[in-house]
Chain A
């Protein structure tokens, strides 16, 4: 964390680009491959994550004076699980067809390292509004990554976007197969590293 406090806008931008969950930090990878075979699923999961991340950060920040540091991990877990249950039940009621496909991954949000990490690193030490901005930025960064990955996978794998046909001809079946997910993420990650190195003089994602 930097020493001087960042403005709220900077916080949001940091979450979206500087510390993008998937391409820069390389955490919470599971759903980035699992649900990105279509844009609809990717966007649905991304929006759920924005909601959970923002709400969790706000709640933890509100409670930060009352949480004893020794038992903070179970408390964070319970707060996250609470909001995930809300999203899970809402999706099950109002978005039945999508829920059938990605229901398991909605429930898995509970074990997301990125949400837990932001609660621990940022929200437990900062004011409510800036925590909400931080959470929102991280969530939107995740959503963006999901959109980028699912855009390529759906376009190349099925020739459609949101289910509407865009290009005709025989699509690359491999892109919607499980293996294609890994390949797409790997190639995109390498591409962003290349841009970062070529134009911004960065060292590339630290990653694992």
Chain B
């Protein structure tokens, strides 16, 4: 008998862990805040004067303007990468597909890099108008880059039939993206350079309420639309031909996956950079616990992905406090060995 956890045990456990992780993430950091002060500080921030107690002003500020948006961004980006990883793996019919590994995040980073570096030229022409536009331009270009990269990998990988080609195409795109970003570095201004370095390593330190709203909105829409097609995604796991015989509009489904994934990954990368391996590890764990059915895989991946990235970010912020590591280093440190382990497991099947 195959081991599967029921929703009754899995869902409450995951939500409890998510709440616990969130509280710890809010309390821990360069300035340690006790749990009662976390609550008080957040209340003070959201509704000044609601409490009789005296809460240090900087608590409210740190919690409301820095840690809370960062926590939410972590949940959103982690969820986005995990859901996209899960759906990519379904489309490529291979558990090794992941936005970072197959170069989709790199494509997005190039798109974002173009805006950052050449945006300066635009801002000269457009002036203040450009400033208002930038929050939209960044994810838009990043998403375009992600969609193009996905499409290219998919075509080169013989429509999901060749794992080797898929992984090699990912390497090629990542290399190309690395070269492009490296070249951008020579023409970039100092600010742009700092942003780009952060991106290549992946970090949540740029969290603002605007970025939370934009990525959150995009995540909710794209994950929701993909979840709505969970049954078709399940059929796709049988192969494109079999899915078509089951009445699934395979071409439309794949187009939808590529576009929605691209938009979501692009939005996530445009604020947090390339955070690798989350989309690989999370869906894998969910499949072990709950099976490969997309009706459950997608929501559970969203929850577990948020939890995992939040935990990783908390570690990244506290190991060398008050300095902080880019969270991408932590996820790679945990995820890359996991990837190697999966390769080891599949070594007979790949070639």
B is bound to A: no
**Could you tell me which A residues sit within 8 Å of B by CB distance?**
none
**Could you tell me which B residues sit within 8 Å of A by CB distance?**
none
